[in-house]
Amino acid sequence: MSAHEHHAGALPPEPEKATLEGRNKILGFWLFLGAETVLFGTLFSAYLAFRNSVLDGPPPEELFQLPMTFIMTVALLVSSLTSVFAVQAMHRHKTGQMLGWMAVTIALGAVFLGLEIYEFNEYVHEGHRFTTSAFSSAFYSLVGFHGAHVAFGILWIGLLILQILKKGLTVVTAPKVYVSAIYWHFIDVVWVFIFTVVYLMGKV
């Protein structure tokens, strides 16, 4: 593949699907996301089973601050939209615009992650540690695992920006951008269920 010189004009409209390798990469990534769904499902089911087992620790309704969760939700939702814009810029072969939207996506992901770290730090000060109760362990496992996915996504998309600056947008690099965008959307969809099941239902 890399032997072929692909200039911007020669790139097909959907460069991520132009090669069999690219299409297989996307298909394989979807199978991975199916497995990720199950993984988050196990953490959700553990949380639902243990959410009332608070022992001496603070219960969810005392712990959670909805304005903070709302800001985090909006940051991640907007970053998911900018990630759509990055793929649309890629389909138009506008590499500069694509890299710009990817950078915005990373920045918003970093805002989300920073707020989550601040939030966890607050909880620890309120006596809600990982080993406090079955509720706290299940909470940190579920929300922390999602946060780790956001951190991995920031690292991944950041490295992709560097690679595309070096190699340009080709039929080899395009599937990577597409797959990273799908990953980022998936992380946002998982967060929809976390803020609903953990934060909002914890306050009902």
Partner 1 sequence: MTENHSASGTQTQRHRLEGPQKHIIVFILSLVLTIIAFAAVAAGNVNKLFVIFLLLGMAIVQAFAQLAFWMHMKDRGHFFPIIAILGGVLVVIMLVALALLWTWW
Binds partner 1 (CB under 8 A): choice among 25, 91, 94, 129: 91
* Amino acid in position 11: L
* Amino acid in position 22: G
Q: Which stretch binds partner 1 (CB under 8 A): 43-51, 98-106, 118-126, 158-166?
A: 43-51
- Is residue 68 at the binding interface for partner 1, with CB under 8 A as the rule? no
Residue 92, C-beta contacts closer than 8 angstroms, at least 6 positions apart: none
Instruction: Tokens 């953490």: give the residue.
Output: 43
- Is residue 8 at the binding interface for partner 1, with CB under 8 A as the rule? no
Element at 10 (helix H, strand E) = none
User: Measured at the alpha carbon of residue 60, what is the angle toward residues 57 and 64, in degrees to the nearest 5?
Assistant: 115
In the chain, alpha helices (H): 20-50, 60-63, 66-91, 95-125, 134-167, 174-194, 201-203
- Is residue 25 at the binding interface for partner 1, with CB under 8 A as the rule? no
- Is residue 156 at the binding interface for partner 1, with CB under 8 A as the rule? no
- Is residue 117 at the binding interface for partner 1, with CB under 8 A as the rule? no
- Is residue 70 at the binding interface for partner 1, with CB under 8 A as the rule? yes
Give whichever of 129 and 185 is closer to partner 1, judged by the CB atom: 185
Size (the chain), residues = 204
Residues forming the site for partner 1 (CB under 8 A): 4, 12-14, 17-19, 27, 30-31, 33-38, 40-42, 44-46, 48-49, 52, 66, 69-70, 73-74, 77-78, 80-81, 83-85, 88, 91-92, 182, 185-186, 188-189, 192-193, 195-197, 200-201, 203-204
